[in-house]
Amino acid sequence: MTSRSTDRATVDWPKGASPEPRSHPNTANKPAIDENVGRKRFGDFNVTGKVFVVTGGAQGLGLAMAEALVEAGGKVYALDIAPEPDQQWQEAMERVDPDHGGALLYRQQDVSDTAHLDSLIEAIAAENGRLDGVVAAAGVQQVTPALDYTPDDVARMLAVNYTGVFMTAQSAARQMFRYKTRGSICLIASMSGLIANKGLLSPVYNSSKAAVIQLARNLAMEWSPVREDGSGGIRVNCISPGHILTPMVRKNFEEVPGLRETWEAENMMGRLAETTEFKGAVLFLLSGASSFMTGNNLVIDGGHTAW
């Protein structure tokens, strides 16, 4: 164990080999029998009273995912580098229905400022006495031929898309260990972590997403077993979306004429996705509905990688 002092407490983080899963089975995060055997309608998707962090939550996919968790009753902190969330966020705020019990809050945070990220996530958990889930959706894209990539460009991309994602998961897991919340961590990867992206020169983005898919397997292995003190039991998975109409992709279309048509022709649905088409997936992964899923990658791409 390594000790880490904070202004609130000294916490021991697990270090070294993970517990052997069979001698430390993760039974504690099975949904209660009255939740998943029909006494409540889809009770195992209920996240009322749970607290979540979604990075990249100011707009685009992160915002749609944050809204899904709010709609299902969660209290969601959207973290983003943008000083203010955009117009889409204001519209999402107006849709928050207090009858559903959820809440949507905004905190400015650059995920590559990992020290501040860690203290912010610690403060959010302390404010609520828990942290139940995190979605690491903050990401950046840079369209540049491989021959022109500079080391600084590579480092800048990886600081957000890989290190930022890893440190978001680490900071969240620390709080889940601390509060013994048996949380769920969802890393936003991409089908671009599985295939080269026809028509788009983005070697670093694509390989950063491949790294995120592999990271999820390793974090799941380390954190899924429940430890002697009742901590752990943290599930870690990825979502790998296909092409979605978001501000990031609209910028790609401006940069590369004809790209939209190329991408629409590349999947079995003949169109791009809307951000709202990922709401069900994130709710599945962050709720008890996915209690037996860890270390895996949910590919939602309109069949793009299937032919």
Q: 9: which 2 tokens?
A: 């407490």
Within 90-119, which residues bind ligand NAD (CB under 6 A)? 110-112
190 binds ligand NAD (CB under 6 A): yes
300 binds ligand NAD (CB under 6 A): no
Task: Name which position in 51, 120, 121, 140 contacts ligand NAD (CB under 6 A).
Answer: 140
Q: Please say which residue, 48 or 90, places its beta carbon nearer to ligand NAD.
A: 90
264 binds ligand NAD (CB under 6 A): no
Residue 180 CB, shortest distance to ligand NAD, in Å, is: 28
- 205 noted as active-site residue: yes
80 binds ligand NAD (CB under 6 A): yes
303 binds ligand NAD (CB under 6 A): no
Closest to 256 (Cα-Cα) out of 138, 146, 145? 145
53 binds ligand NAD (CB under 6 A): no
How many residues bind ligand NAD (CB under 6 A)? The answer is 28
238 binds ligand NAD (CB under 6 A): no
Read off φ and ψ for residue 219, nearest 5 degrees: -65, -40
| Partners of 107 in the β-ladder | 79
Q: Please say which residue, 248 or 293, places its beta carbon nearer to ligand NAD.
A: 248
Could you tell me which stretch among 37-45, 74-82, 171-179, 195-203 binds ligand NAD (CB under 6 A)? 74-82
Q: Please say which residue, 138 or 234, places its beta carbon nearer to ligand NAD.
A: 138
Task: Name which position in 235, 243, 279, 304 contacts ligand NAD (CB under 6 A).
Answer: 243
Task: Name which position in 11, 93, 154, 248 contacts ligand NAD (CB under 6 A).
Answer: 248
- 15 noted as active-site residue: no
Q: 200 near 143, Cβ under 8 Å?
A: yes
249 binds ligand NAD (CB under 6 A): yes
139 binds ligand NAD (CB under 6 A): yes
Q: 225: which 2 tokens?
A: 């077993």
Q: Binding marks (x or -) toward ligand NAD, 150..179, rule CB under 6 A?
A: ----------x---x---------------
302 binds ligand NAD (CB under 6 A): no
Q: Please say which residue, 18 or 108, places its beta carbon nearer to ligand NAD.
A: 108
- b/e code 227-261 from CB counts within 10 Å (16+ = b): eeeebbbbbbbbbbbbbbebebbeebeeeeeebbe
Residue 218 CB, shortest distance to ligand NAD, in Å, is: 19
202 binds ligand NAD (CB under 6 A): no
Q: Name the residues that contact ligand NAD, by CB under 6 A.
A: 55-56, 58-62, 80-82, 110-112, 137-140, 160, 164, 188, 190, 241, 243-244, 246-249
Name the residues annotated as catalytic: 205, 209
